[in-house]
Amino acid sequence: MAESRLHEKDEAEVRELSEKEIGEQRQVKRKKLEELREMGRDPYLVETFDVTAHSKDIRDDFEAMEDQEVRIAGRIMAFRRMGKVAFVDLQDRQGRIQVFVARDNIGQDEYNIFKTYDTADIIGVTGEVFRTKTGEISVRAREVTLLCKSLQVLPNKWHGLKDTDLRYRQRYVDLIMNEDVRDVFRKRARIISTMRRVLEDDYELIEVETPVLGNIAGGAAARPFLTHHNTLDLDMTLRISLELHLKRLIVGGLDGVYEIGKVFRNEGMDKNHSPEFTSMEAYKAYVNLETMMDACHQIRRQGVRCDPAVEQDRHDGGRHQGYGHPFR
């Protein structure tokens, strides 16, 4: 009988939940939230939690941090309850780490409340770093604080989030479920930072912001989005490029300018082409084509270093090796 129940549980974890089951789980989560509030444990009133360590730091520096107290926070991605103890996979900004929670360590009352927590809830943990008998680097919890009760149901851990359209419409879920996507966001931020540093430090350009609304859709050949300014009673367009205003700034006496901003083109779209996208344009007085080519080369060469895997491939003579060569 026990084996049969275990088999049914495994099947439930592997198959995708129906809309009805997802709705039922949401109702259960809301009921748990109301019970917490009745107990005076409203998680939404907990505004701060002093984080002192993160998952990757703990794994990389385990010898120095073993038996040391740490305070970590993140989202529960997996829950394994075994009577008086439980194991949690906690996901923070650096990755995942296992948390060991025992009734004897946090107390019976707190453990009873802890057992009501669900996957996707965000918790803060205070405890000591240790290694389990199986060799897993973990945190032995002395205190567990519910920081946010999740009322939504995460995608099945086996199926994940595979629907491409849903991934782009609900990017926040995609970020929760896919480490590779979070890594893309981090790399993009580093690349943008590198781009600014090259243009400002090496080429003495200044970053500016120019109007998004205008009455001329110029600088490119594309169909614009149309809108109306109610106060001025004026039909306007969203910009389709950054060019015109930047050139006017050069005329006005700013010798070098650049902008990283959104442009809008009311044309076809697919998973690789959005009507709203980010563009970078740069202009500099008293230089020629070769100077701007060199600036683009430096942005590309230094931007590659933001991805260690691409940089290593370049040094190994792989398909990215040409990123270090000047434009011809």
| pLDDT tens column, 145-192 | 999 999 988 887 545 566 677 777 788 888 888 888 899 999 999 999
pLDDT at 86 over 60: yes
Other CB atoms within 10 Å distance of the CB of residue 99: 21
Q: What is the pLDDT averaged over residues 267-272? A: 82
- Whole-angstrom CA distances from 59 to 67, 176, 319 are 13, 21, 32
Q: Does domain 17-155 have CATH number 2.40.50.140?
A: yes
Partner residues linked to 236 by β-bridges? 227
Q: Chain centroid to CA 178: how far? A: 9
pLDDT band at 7 (very low <50, low <70, confident <90, very high): very low
Residues in contact with 233: Cβ distance below 8 Å, sequence separation at least 6, in sequence order: none
CATH number of this structure's domain 169-324: 3.30.930.10
DSSP code of 242? S
Q: How far apart are CA 95 and CA 145, in angstroms?
A: 20
pLDDT at 258 over 60: yes
| pLDDT tens column, 91-127 | 999 999 999 999 999 999 999 999 999 999 999 999 9
CB-CB contact of 129 with 68 (8 Å):
yes
Tokens for 213, please give them.
């609304």
Give yes or no on whether 17-155 and 169-324 have one common fold.
no
Q: How far apart are CA 256 and CA 73, in angstroms?
A: 44
Query: What are the boundaries of each domain within the chain?
Result: 17-155, 169-324
| pLDDT tens column, 195-215 | 999 999 999 999 999 999 998
**Phi/psi at 11 (5° precision):** -65, -40
State pTM to two decimals: 0.79
